[in-house]
Structure 1
Amino acid sequence: MGGFLAAIFWVYSIVDCAVQPQTRHRGVSKGIWIAIVALVPVIGGILWFTLGRRRANDDGGAIRIVAPDDDPQFLRSISKSEQDARIRRLEEELARLDDETDDGPASDSTAPDARP
């Protein structure tokens, strides 16, 4: 049973190492990691998951795209009066949209082509 589980882990480690993009490999290149995992079955897999595989949230200094509302530098660059004016415009637009939906469509009984 232990040998079967070790074989499953070994195959899973090789596949995981092979399908990860190059940017998710730490230390050495993707080909070398695949060789390590394939040639040293269980220990290679353990090394891959503990040392070689970069986590999804571990960007390694990559450039991160941030939405303007989440970017502190952008928020500091907007003056208070610009923020207030934008909020006022959005509130007016929301009120206008709210008024349009409150009226609702005309019912079928008042329509000119309604049939009894």
Structure 2
Amino acid sequence: MLRALIYLLPLALTIYAFIDCLNTPEDEAKHLPKLAWVFIILLFWIVGPIVWFAAGKLRVPPAGGRTPSEWHRNHRTTWVAPDDNPDFLKSIKDENARDESLLKDWEADLRRREDEMKRREDGAGSGDASS
């Protein structure tokens, strides 16, 4: 049982560090590029993961948050979905109002043109009958 633990514990630590390194954004990896950290974690079985956790990653959330790691200890720093953002919803309402106004202007212009065409047809039709 103890022999299994001797192999499973470092393996679990390596797998956890490997997944953590892969999920870390490139700009949060310290001292080395992320690819170098992946090789260190995989090649140096016990020491690599320990060094990664000790010195390889920024442990403070970036200012302003980011996606997909925008949840830091159950604290949301940015909007998750557009329908949760009041600024986005307001912009949709404003855009809808502009579209409605534009549509009304087009409809009024269309009615004016149709009326103008009817007047021309009526004028041309009465002019032909009197000749």
Higher gyration radius (CA) = 2
Query: TM-score under structure 2 normalisation?
Result: 0.43
Query: TM-score under structure 1 normalisation?
Result: 0.48
- Larger RCO: 1 or 2 (CA < 8 Å, sep 6+): 1
